[in-house]
């Protein structure tokens, strides 16, 4: 097996700065040595990931805490809600966890977002650590401090900005990830190319087959470069007053797909992949990018095995339904939807677009 050197990506946020560790076999090492000790740790995981990795994580951290508790939540986006979040508070209170308790999020973005939000709320804030185990969570959701849950009327609508103490990405955990989830994670990797780094877009074109084959070196590079770009963006705009919104390329359309289909029917990454096709088509329609870049983005998403056509959400007025759902997006300003568009030089901006233009794009992009 090729040796993969552990890499460290810093995220600079003043007193909230931390490090993202990327490597193989990290759950068996003393990577957690620098964490503050405490009476309690709670590993929050789910019924799928817990049996695979919770014991290894417990062994890795137990010298730092007098008691290590584990809670396994039900698995799936459909459980990213108040009811499930309350199970974490029930576990914390039942075990009499105090303010020096550290929460460990062990799982994908669903577990990570909920655990971070629980940490932000419990006793008005306790420390937490992200141990992401999906590609999507290693390249995106575990980094940057967005935490929260869904509301039936909108995705991720209840939450808080709350940064972890550290992020530990063990690429070895990706070996057990289902194929469909790996592909969904690739959507969030691909987005970093057109929004920030055309060289990375080229690298992805050359290495997509290696990523799909779970080549460890390729995965380590893709995770590191994604985290570097995200760390740069979040370091400049932690609370999304402007720049950070570019990380949502494809997400305005994608969130409409997730909410319109019912959470969990389409994976988040699948909806984002298809949403990026729509956002790239919109950018081309606005003449911000040429046909060549549009084809390159489309081709990468197709090679990653992601859906290329949006679902029909309403057979009488499909575009109207998308627009209605997109107005709930957090980027909307007084009901005006703002879209992340790309400009062809590794640059993205956010802009309002006439509904008629968006309607044309939706009609062209849906099956």
Q: What is the largest CA-CA distance in the chain?
A: 61
Closest CB to ligand NAD: residue number: 109
d(CA 224, CA 229): 9
Residue 81 is a catalytic residue: no
CA 272 remoteness from chain centre: 10
H or E stretch covering 146 = strand 146-151
Non-local CB neighbours of 214 within 8 Å, separated by 6+ positions: 174, 175, 182
**Residue placing its CB nearer to ligand NAD in the complex, 46 or 163:** 46
- Give the pair of three-digit tokens for residue 80: 């990213």
Please report how close the Cβ of residue 195 comes to ligand GLY at its closest, in angstroms. 11
Among 102, 115, 134, 248, binds ligand GLY (CB under 6 A): 248
Residue 69 is a catalytic residue: no
Residue 268 is a catalytic residue: yes
Tell me the window of 113-121, 139-147, 207-215, 274-282 that interacts with ligand GLY (CB under 6 A). 139-147
Please report how close the Cβ of residue 278 comes to ligand NAD at its closest, in angstroms. 18
Please report how close the Cβ of residue 191 comes to ligand NAD at its closest, in angstroms. 10
CA dihedral 118, 123, 124, 127 (to 10 degrees): -60
What's the Cα-to-Cα distance from 199 to each of 169, 188, 190, 235, 363, rounded to whole Å? 24, 16, 12, 21, 32
Is 127 an interacting residue with respect to ligand NAD (CB under 6 A)?
Answer: no
* Residue 248's binding partner out of ligand GLY, ligand NAD, none, with CB under 5 to 8 Å set by partner kind: ligand GLY
Please report how close the Cβ of residue 274 comes to ligand GLY at its closest, in angstroms. 16
Burial of 93 (0-12, 13-18, 19+ CB in 10 A): exposed
**# binding residues, ligand GLY (CB under 6 A):** 6
Tell me the window of 52-60, 243-251, 262-270, 287-295 that interacts with ligand GLY (CB under 6 A). 243-251
- Give the pair of three-digit tokens for residue 261: 């289909």
Cα–Cα nearest to 107, from 71, 67, 83, 78: 71
* Residue 163's binding partner out of ligand GLY, ligand NAD, none, with CB under 5 to 8 Å set by partner kind: none
* Residue 193's binding partner out of ligand GLY, ligand NAD, none, with CB under 5 to 8 Å set by partner kind: none
Residue 28 dihedral angles phi and psi, to the nearest 5°: -100, 0
Is 244 an interacting residue with respect to ligand GLY (CB under 6 A)?
Answer: yes
Residues forming contacts to ligand NAD in the complex (CB under 6 A) are 46, 48-49, 52, 75, 77, 80, 107-111, 113, 133-134, 136-137, 140-141, 144, 146, 156, 173, 176-177, 181, 184, 268-269
Catalytic residues: 124, 146, 188, 230, 240, 244, 248, 251, 255, 268
């Amino acid at each position: 097996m090729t040796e993969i050197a552990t890499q460290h990506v810093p995220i600079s946020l003043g007193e909230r700065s931390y490090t993202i560790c990327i490597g193989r076999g990290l759950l068996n090492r003393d990577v957690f040595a620098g964490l503050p000790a405490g009476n309690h740790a709670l590993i929050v995981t789910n019924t799928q990931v817990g049996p695979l990795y919770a014991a290894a994580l417990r062994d890795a951290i137990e010298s730092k805490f007098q008691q290590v508790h584990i809670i396994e939540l039900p698995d799936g986006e459909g459980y990213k809600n108040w009811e499930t979040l309350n199970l974490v508070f029930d576990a914390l209170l039942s075990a009499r966890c105090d303010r020096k308790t550290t929460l460990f999020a062990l799982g994908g973005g669903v577990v990570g977002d909920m655990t971070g939000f629980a940490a932000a709320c419990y006793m008005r804030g306790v420390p937490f650590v992200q141990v992401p185990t999906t590609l999507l969570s290693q390249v995106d959701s575990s980094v940057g401090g967005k935490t929260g849950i869904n509301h039936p009327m909108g995705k991720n609508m209840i939450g808080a900005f709350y940064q972890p103490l550290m992020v530990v990405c063990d690429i070895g955990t990706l070996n057990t990830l289902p194929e469909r989830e790996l592909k969904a994670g690739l959507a969030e990797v691909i987005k970093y190319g057109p929004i920030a780094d055309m060289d990375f877009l080229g690298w992805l074109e050359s290495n997509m087959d290696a990523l799909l084959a779970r080549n460890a070196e390729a995965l380590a590079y893709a995770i590191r470069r994604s985290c570097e770009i995200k760390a740069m963006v979040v370091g400049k705009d932690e609370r999304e007053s402007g720049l950070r919104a570019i990380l949502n390329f494809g997400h305005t359309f994608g969130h409409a797909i997730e909410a319109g289909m019912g959470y969990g029917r389409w994976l988040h990454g699948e909806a984002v992949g298809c949403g990026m096709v729509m956002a790239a088509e919109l950018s081309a329609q606005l003449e911000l990018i040429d046909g060549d870049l549009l084809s390159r983005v489309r081709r990468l998403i197709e090679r990653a095995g992601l859906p290329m056509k949006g679902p029909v959400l309403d057979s009488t007025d499909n575009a109207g339904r998308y627009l209605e759902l997109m107005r709930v997006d957090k980027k909307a300003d007084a009901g005006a939807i703002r879209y992340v568009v790309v400009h062809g030089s590794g640059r993205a901006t956010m802009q309002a677009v006439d509904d008629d233009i968006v309607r044309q794009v939706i009609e062209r992009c849906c099956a």
